[in-house]
A and B are shown apart, each in its own frame.
Chain A
Amino acid sequence: QSVLTQPPSVSGAPGQRVTISCTGSSSNIGAGYDVHWYQQFLGAAPKLLIYGNNNRPSGVPDRFSGSQSGTSGSLAITGLQAEDEADYYCQSYDISLSGVVFGGGTKVTVL
């Protein structure tokens, strides 16, 4: 069982907006550690998509955005495209574990 909680799957039609929640606790997100998001295609390593709650690395389209409040974070994809179909993982740091924690992953399906 993952330390951070994500929905197993979300889906949407092309052009729609989808959001993925990531719920943590007072020992990770609630302790002030940022939420980060990764995109993973089948057979590939995860790629950093959003860092520091709401920042995009160079090259990441602006249809991807993040937010954080309290013990939770959220990833939004606006203007959903077929190429966005992938698995998405949230990640934070846990002060009790002194290590990285992940969500269980969310599969995004474009209908």
Chain B
Amino acid sequence: QVQLQQWGAGLLKPSETLSLTCAVYGGSFTGYYWTWIRQPPGRGLEWLGQIMHSGTTNYNPSLKSRITISVDTSKNQFSLRVNSVTAADTAVYYCARLPLVDWNLDYWGQGILVTVAS
């Protein structure tokens, strides 16, 4: 049974750095893209970026200058950092697994609400 468990700070001030980590339990860590997605309150889903176990990354161009995704294969974890946050970064942040063959998001973390407010 695959489980994704995520954690990180839920309240930030403008200009601070958002930092979240997602741990993967069960299943293989290879053969997938490990993905970050966010959902602003009352709005739709937005793909932020993804990383493979090798460290290969792809980022959404709209956030590319502020976002870093990293991986720790020794712990089966991957992390998200977003620099210089503003109120527009307030959202529920999800981690998810993306199989390289099927390209669907088959397992999701529980989600963390990150609020940016002064």
Contacts and interface: CB of A to CB of B under 8 A. Distances in A.
Contacts of A34: 102-104
Bin chain A's interface residue count. 20 to 34
Contact of B44 (A51, A52, A98, A102): A102
A100 B108 contact: no
B105 interface: yes
Interface in A57-100: 57, 89, 91-93, 97-100
B44 A100 contact: no
A91 B49 contact: no
A89 B104 contact: no
Contacts of B98: 100
Interface of B: 35, 37, 44-47, 49-50, 58-61, 94, 98, 102-106, 108-111
Interface of A: 2, 33-34, 36, 38, 45-48, 51-52, 57, 89, 91-93, 97-105
